[in-house]
Amino acid sequence: MSRPELQAPPEIYYGDTEAKKYTKNTRNQQIQADMTYRALELLNLPPDEPAFLLDIGCGSGLSGEILDEEGYIWAGMDIAPSMLEVALERELEGDLFLQDIGQGFGFRPGSFDGAISISVLQWLLNAETSHPTSSPPHRLTRFFTTLHSALRNPSRAVFQFYPTSDDQIQLITSIAQKAGFGGGIVVDYPNSKKAKKVFLCLFVGGGGGAQQRVPEGLEGEEDEHARFERRRQKVSGKDRSGKRKSVKDRDWILKKKELYRQRGKEGVPRDSKFTGRKRKATF
């Protein structure tokens, strides 16, 4: 199975059933909770000072629940109505918005003491339409510039996300920098295949003498809590024997032929037992 963000846009992927499944899955809850705690740690808020936080892509409120527990006042936004419905049922304290973060938001400058976002940014990396405002760089730019102005100076924003490649990390960090953020990437358990987690840690302000420093990632083999999300495993084209599987196999050819027939194309060859077989290499 490929990554969820490659299958459909978030508001469609997280439909009613998927939203319920996602929220009920205890392993998922555990992973989300761990990452939320870690994000809060990276946010490095002054202790004993009640803060007003923004939860970007709050979903069904798995992270919001922890913000409630920790005594933060928060507002959350998500693009999937079904997820928000589940969040309503869970009776969280925070305010919820149905919002596409790629369209930017209109919060007044300096509104929030910090922002967290768990497993969201990767959803911004796919274009849904060919309209210019739908291209990932445009959406990221809009998102980061409006977020930068919505945050107080000094403050931080921490994003946990699942990049597929270094190019994606490069794209995201460069756009964030252009929007005025400082900071960088923190990788927890970089040597572990299973527990590796990527956090984007962005700073607003904090220049001059007291330069904010990017926190260190967690080291060591792996924590027993940070577990593996199998569905995020990279899709490989290889089968079990290690050989690369052909993309255009018999099933694919039959599917294509069927499609052509439905479209009324003429001269589509008949299906037979020879369909999709290789010719012998003899002259």
Partner 1 sequence: MVRLITHNLLACHVKGCTTNNFPLTFQDVQIELQEAEFNPEFVRNLLSRLDWAALVDAAKQVGDTSLPPEEPEMMDDDLLKKLHHVLLEIHVIEGAMTCPNCKHVYPISNGIPNMLLAEHEIG
Residues of the shown chain interacting with partner 1 in the complex, contacts defined by CB under 8 A = 49-50, 52, 73, 75, 77, 79, 81, 84-85, 88, 93-100, 103-108, 110-112, 129, 131, 133, 142, 146, 152
* Residue whose CB is less far from partner 1, 95 or 249: 95
SS3 assignment, position 221: coil
Alpha-carbon span 21 to 110, nearest angstrom:
36
Residue 83 carries which side chain, given as an amino acid letter?
Answer: M
Choose between 42 and 96: whose C-beta lies nearer to partner 1: 96
Rank residues 124 and 218 by Cβ distance to partner 1 and give the closer one.
Answer: 124
Q: Tell the smallest beta-carbon distance from residue 105 to partner 1 (Å).
A: 6
- Please report how many Cα atoms fall inside a 13 Å half-sphere around the Cα of residue 166, on the Cβ side: 0
User: How many angstroms separate the Cα of 89 from the Cα of each of 61, 84, 268?
Assistant: 10, 9, 53
Residue 223 burial (CB count, 10 A): 15
Cα separation, 124 vs 134, whole angstroms: 9
Buried b (16+ CB within 10 A) or exposed e, 246-266: eeeeeeeeeeebeeeeeeeee
Min. distance of Cβ 9 from partner 1 in angstroms? Answer: 12
**How far apart are CB 179 and partner 1 at their closest, in Å?**
14
At closest approach, how far in Å is the CB of 215 from partner 1?
A: 24
Nearer to partner 1, 107 or 260 (CB): 107
Shortest distance in whole angstroms from residue 10 CB to partner 1: 13
Distance CA 190, CA 176 (A): 22
3-state SS string for 6-58: HHCCHHHHCCHHHHHHHHHCHHHHHHHHHHHHHHHHHHCCCCCCCCEEEEECC
Cβ contacts of 109 within 8 Å, gap of 6 or more: 149, 150
- Whole-number minimum distance, CB 83 to partner 1, in Å? 11
Amino acid found at 159: F
Q: CB of residue 19 vs partner 1: minimum separation in angstroms?
A: 14
Considering beta carbons, is residue 44 or 164 the nearer one to partner 1? 44
Q: Which is nearer to partner 1, 30 or 134 (CB)?
A: 134
Q: Which is nearer to partner 1, 84 or 121 (CB)?
A: 84
Q: Around Cβ 221, how many Cβ atoms within 10 Å?
A: 10
